[in-house]
Structure 1
C-alpha cells in the first residue's frame, strides 16, 4: 500500500516520542508533520478521511502502544552475492533487513566474488542485485594491495567508502594491506574527502596469543571447542594495538576513518584520546557484542564465532558505557552468514568454523531489549542504529523523521514479546546466535519511501520489493532515480 497519512500516538520526532500526523508526498518524502495532543489521533484520522476521500486507502493509524521510528540504516552487511550466494543473497538478505526494521543498508565489498575493488566488480554486483532488493541498498568499495588507482573511480561511481583489513580477511580474494599500503590509500582517499573503514586487529599479537594458548594446553592444537579458549587466541590487545597504529595513520594523513565492529573495551582509552585531539575518527560496535557474554557460550557453538570475538560480561558493560559516553557512535549488524557446511566446518572444533554472526533481522530487537534492561530508551537506540549510521555515509534523507526526509519508518511494538526461531528468519541459512533468545519488543511493520513493505495490520501479504540503489554524491546520498533496474545499467 502507498501511505499518504501516518497517524500515531508515538512518533519519534527530535528525540522524543510524541503524537503526530505525518503526511507523505507522491515522491515518497515527508511533506508535513503535525504534532498532536495525547489521545487526539483517532479524531485526527476522522478529520483526514472527511477532508480527503482517497485517504482511507492511503492512511495508516496505529495502536497507542506502537512506536514509529525512522527506518534503521545498517552500514555493515555482507550479502555475498554473486559468488557466494548460497551463503546469503540480495533477495533473502534485504527481505531479512526489511523484517528487522532496516530500510537502508550498505553492502560490504567482500565476501562476494569478485570483491568490489574496481568499477567493473561494482557493476557486476549491481547487476546481480537489480530487481530483487526489498530495501534501499548501497555499496562499499575495498582497499587491497595494488588497487589504489581504483579508489577515485569507485568513489565517482557511487561507493560510500573503502574497507580494508589489517590481517587475513578469511577469503583469499580480499587480502590485507600493510601499514605503508594503508597510508598510501588513506592519502588518496583524503584527496577527495572519502572515508576509510578498517577491520582493526593485529596479526602479530594474534599469532603470539595463539602460540601461548597452545603452549599452555597442547591438546588445543588438535581440538579447540571452548569459546573462551578460542577467544584467548584473539585477545583484546590485538584490537587495541591495531587501533593505536590506525590512529597514528589518521593523524599523519588526516583521512576520515571509521573503526569497524569494536569488540574490545581496552581500545576505548586510545579512542578517547584521538577524539579529544580532534582526529576524524568514528567507531561502531555490534548487537552480538552488546547482547552476549563469552562465559555463557556453550562449547562448540560455532554460531557465536566472529572476529573479533565476543568477550566477557565486564567488557560488554564497558561497551555499553562507551556508547553512552559517545566514544562509540553507532550499532550495526555485521551480518556475516555462511552455509551450514562452512559454519560448522570441523565441529565441534571452532578453529576452522566460519567467523561471523548472522543477525540482520534480529539485531534491532535484540539491542532494544537489552537497552531496556539497562534503562536506555528506544530514542537513544534509534539514534545509534538509524541517525548516526545515516550520518556516517551522508544519507541526509535517511535516519530521521523530518520534513524533506524519505518516508522510511520502522513500526515497533515494545510490549510484544517473541522467541527467535532460526528457521523462521528470512536469512538464507537458518543459523543464528540469537536462536532461542526471548525478546521483549517486536518490529511489526516497515515503510520505505511511503510504501508499506509489511504492515502491522496485514502480515499475510507478500512483502513489497521496492528497494533502490543508493549512491554517494547524489542529492542527500539518496536513492538513484529510476530504481534498481535502471541503476544497475549505469546510473550510479
Structure 2
C-alpha cells in the first residue's frame, strides 16, 4: 500500500461529518470504478482537485460530498483529446473556447490540447500564444493546453514557445487549408526536428505529400469517389515514410496525426521495432464511417485525409489492437455550415473537417462493443495514451496523485445523434441520425462537476499538467 493510501485509510463502516484528517472534498463510491488496476469496487477520495485515496468499497470514506454510482454506471477517467481545432481568436464563428469546452465536457473529455491553426493569428510565436491564452482563460469548462506551430521562418520562435509551455509543434507537408499557416518542405521539417531534439520536444505531422496530391485527380464536383481519388493512400504513405526517416536521422520524437491509410501500418510497425521515437493517432471518423456508404454531395463527411473503404477500416482497428496505432483523438475541425457547401455538395469547394468532439466516446464504444473490445481498452486509446504522448503526467487515469478528472458513463445507454442538441457551434455532422451506445451522464474536472454555466477549467502548460 502506498504512503498516501496508508495515511488516508479509515476504519470500515466509519462515518464522520466533522472536519478531520480523513475527510475529503469529494468521495465517489461504486462497484465499477476504472482505476489503473482495472475496473474494481472502490471508494475514491478527492482533496484539492487530486485523487488522494483509492480504497475498497465499504471503507466508508467521509467527505463534504459523497456520490454513489448507480448499478448501471461506470466511473471512468476523463478523456484526453489532443487534437482539437478551437479556432479562437479569429474564426470564432467556426467554434470558440466556450462552445468547444462545453462540447468536450458533454462528451466526457476533461482535457483538450488546442491546435495552432485555424485561429488568427496561428500559434507560431509567443505573442500569438498569449492572445490565445487570453481568449481561452475566462471560457474554459475543461482543462486546455496548446500546441505550437512549425512553419517556414519561425525556427527562432520554437524554443520560446516551448519555454512558454506548449506541448509540442505541429507542421504540415502540404497546404494546410489556410494561408496563414504555410507548410514545410521535408528538408525544412528535418531542420526543425533537429531544433526540437535540443530541448526534447515533439513534432506532430500532417502526413500527406504535396507532390502526390498535386498529381492526383481534381476533387471538384459532388462525387465522393472523385474526392477520395484526390487524396490517395499513396500521398499519405509517402509522407509517413518521410517522417519516419527524418525522425530516424534526427532522433526527434515524432507523431503522425490522423492516420487514415492502413497501407502505412507495416512501415510504422517496422520503425517502432527499429527504435524510432514514433507515435500514431487515428480518429473516430476513420474507425466508424465507410467510403462506400457516403452519399454523393454529402460534404459533412469531407475531411483530409479522407474516410476510406471498409477493408481499410478493418486494418486500422487491427493496428489499434496490435499497438501499432497508439491513440484515438477527434481532430475536431469545425466550420460554418456555409463553408461545408451543403447547398451545392461540391467536395472540391467544401471545408475539410469533421466536428466530433462531443461524440468520440460513444462513437468508439459503439464500434468497440460490436467487436468485443473492452471499455478498458477504449479508455487506454482515448485517455491514457493521449495523455502519455503529450506529457500530461497527471491525466488519463484514475490513480493516486492524478487530477480528479472523472466521467460517469452509462455503457448500456443509447441515443440518436441530433446535431441541434450538441454544444458544437455549428449544427452539421456526418453522424446526424446515427444510433450510438453509451452516454456521458456527469463530468468532473479536478473534482468539480461541470455545470455548463460557470467555467472552472485551467490553462495547462507542459511540465505542469
**Superposition TM-score, scaled by structure 2 size:** 0.93
Q: Work out which of the residue numbers 257, 277, 281 in structure 2 matches 1:284.
A: 281
Name the counterpart of 2:36.
Answer: 14
Q: 1:172 is paired with a residue of what secondary structure?
A: coil
Q: 1:358 is paired with a residue of what secondary structure?
A: coil
Name the counterpart of 1:189.
Answer: 196
Counterpart-to-counterpart distance in 2, 1:197 and 1:290: 21
Per-residue Cα deviation, 1:391-436 (whole angstroms, up to 9, x for no partner) = 0111111001111111101111011110010010000001111111
Name the counterpart of 1:481.
Answer: none
Per-residue Cα deviation, 1:141-169 (whole angstroms, up to 9, x for no partner) = 00000000100000000000000000000
What is the deviation of 1:344?
1.4
Per-residue Cα deviation, 1:452-480 (whole angstroms, up to 9, x for no partner) = 115xxxxxxx4441100010022xxx2xx
Name the counterpart of 1:163.
Answer: 170
Per-residue Cα deviation, 1:347-378 (whole angstroms, up to 9, x for no partner) = 22110100000000001110011111111010
Report whether the alignment pairs 1:110 with 2:117. Answer: yes
> Which 4+ residue blocks in structure 1 deviate beyond 3 angstroms?
none
Per-residue Cα deviation, 1:22-77 (whole angstroms, up to 9, x for no partner) = 0001x1101100123xxx6xxx6xx45xxx4xx4x511111112011110000000
What is the deviation of 1:130?
1.7
Report whether the alignment pairs 1:310 with 2:307. Answer: yes
Q: Work out which of the residue numbers 252, 261, 265 in structure 1 matches 2:262.
A: 265
Name the counterpart of 1:485.
Answer: none
Q: 1:386 is paired with a residue of what secondary structure?
A: helix
Change (3 A) 1:414 1:258: same
Name the counterpart of 1:35.
Answer: 56
Name the counterpart of 1:467.
Answer: 457
Q: Using the TM superposition, name which of 60-69 and 321-330 deviates more.
A: 60-69
Name the counterpart of 1:68.
Answer: 75
Per-residue Cα deviation, 1:311-345 (whole angstroms, up to 9, x for no partner) = 00110010000000000000000000000111117
Report whether the alignment pairs 1:177 with 2:198. Answer: no
What is the deviation of 1:209?
2.0
Counterpart-to-counterpart distance in 2, 1:129 and 1:107: 10
Change (3 A) 1:253 1:346: farther
Gaps spanning 5+ residues in structure 2: where? 1-23
What is the deviation of 1:245?
1.1
Report whether the alignment pairs 1:275 with 2:268. Answer: no
Gaps spanning 5+ residues in structure 1: where? 215-219, 455-461, 479-492
Counterpart-to-counterpart distance in 1, 2:454 and 2:390: 25
Name the counterpart of 2:149.
Answer: 142
Counterpart-to-counterpart distance in 2, 1:397 and 1:469: 14
Report whether the alignment pairs 1:409 with 2:406. Answer: yes
Q: 1:365 is paired with a residue of what secondary structure?
A: helix
What is the deviation of 1:225?
1.0
Per-residue Cα deviation, 1:168-206 (whole angstroms, up to 9, x for no partner) = 000000000011211110000000000000000011112
Please say if residues 300 and 342 of structure 2, whose CA atoms lie closer than 8 Å, have aligned partners that are also in contact: no
Per-residue Cα deviation, 1:278-332 (whole angstroms, up to 9, x for no partner) = 1000000000000000000111111110000000011001000000000000000
Q: 1:288 is paired with a residue of what secondary structure?
A: helix
Per-residue Cα deviation, 1:88-134 (whole angstroms, up to 9, x for no partner) = 00000000000000000000000000000000000011111121100
Name the counterpart of 1:250.
Answer: 247
Please say if residues 298 and 342 of structure 2, whose CA atoms lie closer than 8 Å, have aligned partners that are also in contact: no
Name the counterpart of 2:98.
Answer: 91
Please say if residues 165 and 177 of structure 1, whose CA atoms lie closer than 8 Å, have aligned partners that are also in contact: yes
Counterpart-to-counterpart distance in 1, 2:37 and 2:399: 11
Q: Work out which of the residue numbers 439, 442, 446 in structure 2 matches 1:442.
A: 439
Counterpart-to-counterpart distance in 2, 1:204 and 1:96: 37
Counterpart-to-counterpart distance in 2, 1:395 and 1:182: 25
Name the counterpart of 2:107.
Answer: 100
Name the counterpart of 1:217.
Answer: none
Counterpart-to-counterpart distance in 1, 2:251 and 2:239: 18
Please say if residues 95 and 134 of structure 1, whose CA atoms lie closer than 8 Å, have aligned partners that are also in contact: yes
Count of equivalent residues? 442
- Structure with a larger share of its residues in helix: 1
Q: 1:58 is paired with a residue of what secondary structure?
A: strand
What is the deviation of 1:246?
1.1
Counterpart-to-counterpart distance in 1, 2:296 and 2:37: 42
Please say if residues 15 and 379 of structure 1, whose CA atoms lie closer than 8 Å, have aligned partners that are also in contact: no
Name the counterpart of 1:206.
Answer: 213
Counterpart-to-counterpart distance in 2, 1:22 and 1:473: 25
Q: 1:4 is paired with a residue of what secondary structure?
A: strand
Q: 2:100 is paired with a residue of what secondary structure?
A: helix
Q: Using the TM superposition, name which of 14-23 and 386-395 deviates more.
A: 14-23
Name the counterpart of 1:420.
Answer: 417
Counterpart-to-counterpart distance in 2, 1:146 and 1:428: 34
Please say if residues 305 and 357 of structure 1, whose CA atoms lie closer than 8 Å, have aligned partners that are also in contact: yes
Please say if residues 196 and 258 of structure 1, whose CA atoms lie closer than 8 Å, have aligned partners that are also in contact: yes
What is the deviation of 1:3?
5.4
